[in-house]
Amino acid sequence: MDTDVQLTERDPSPAPDQGPEPGSRFARFTARPAGLRHRPVTLLALCLAFVLLLSAFVAQPFLIPSSSMENTLQIGDRVLVNKLAYRFGTEPARGDVVVFDGTGSFVHREQGENPVTGLLRATGAALGLARPAETDYVKRVIGIGGDHVTCCDRRGRIEVNGEAVREGYLHPGDAPSSVTFDIVVPEGKLWVMGDHRARSSDSRDHLGDPGGGTVPVDKVIGRADLITWPVSRWRTLSAPIPAAAGSRG
């Protein structure tokens, strides 16, 4: 008995390349680069998050925006602000260069800013790439809580607790102050001034404001310890303690 056998004609063209069989060693090997593709982005995000956390709690680069601290600090300098300096019972000392939030002492109005712009600026400031907030200041501590700070004696010098302050850090040609003042710094507050007295808006300019120009210690962000940029200006910032380090009254 004859049986009809139906034959299918084979396509002579080569079959399309389907790639290696799933599960083969070659397939696993070639799949790895695709998995690694996102690792640089992940690593970058993790590094950025680490730097921002470090900047928020340990040490923050701070871009100097003005000439008020010349010649100690110049416009464009980056200083490293030690945020742990006053975290464990230690308080700012005379001569320390500090960064602080002037809200409530130097600034008494709301600072309006677009939220997106503010976030970008804050991120840039945390990395030392952008100007700090308008409410952040860098000054030198002249008087601490309980100090009697006056200006000026017969030789034009500032006195703290009746003793003249030797201010070798002053900008060349500057007088210690062109404004006279006589204040007892309240406990928990600081009297701060810039090293370039002729161009510094500091405690002297806020004598009539609430707090009398003093800055609350709890508003201090940290102590400026090191100039990190430019490389030619790399150095630590010493804290020359004024001569009047004795009794307060």
In this predicted model, what pLDDT tens digit does every residue of 178-192 receive, in sequence order?
999 999 999 999 999
Cα–Cα dist 23/76, whole Å: 58
The pLDDT score that the predictor gives to residue 49 is 67
> Among 83, 105, 139, 200, which one carries the catalytic annotation?
139
Preceding omega of 151 cis (within 30 degrees of 0): no
- 129 Cα distance to chain centroid: 10
Cα–Cα dist 145/204, whole Å: 16
Cα–Cα dist 81/73, whole Å: 13
Q: What is the largest distance, in Å, between two alpha-carbon atoms of the chain?
A: 136
Using one digit for the tens of pLDDT, what is the confidence trace for 45-94?
A: 676 665 666 656 678 889 999 999 999 999 999 999 999 999 888 999 99
Strand order in the sheet with 163-164: 163-164, 158-160, 148-151, 181-184
Considering the entire predicted model, what is its pTM?
0.74
In the annotation, is 83 catalytic?
A: no
Confidence of residue 138 (pLDDT cuts 50, 70, 90): very high
The closest alpha carbon to 168, from 240, 223, 224, 243, belongs to 240
Rg, Å, the chain Cα set:
31
The pLDDT score that the predictor gives to residue 7 is 45
Residue 11 per-residue DSSP state: P
Has residue 111 got a pLDDT over 80? no
Question: Mean pLDDT, to the nearest integer, of 201-225?
Answer: 95
Has residue 31 got a pLDDT over 60? no
The pLDDT score that the predictor gives to residue 205 is 96
Where is mean pLDDT largest: 13-17, 131-135, 152-156?
Answer: 152-156
> Among 55, 68, 105, 177, which one carries the catalytic annotation?
68
Q: Would strands 136-144 and 189-193 be described as parallel, antiparallel, or unpaired?
A: antiparallel
In the annotation, is 68 catalytic?
A: yes
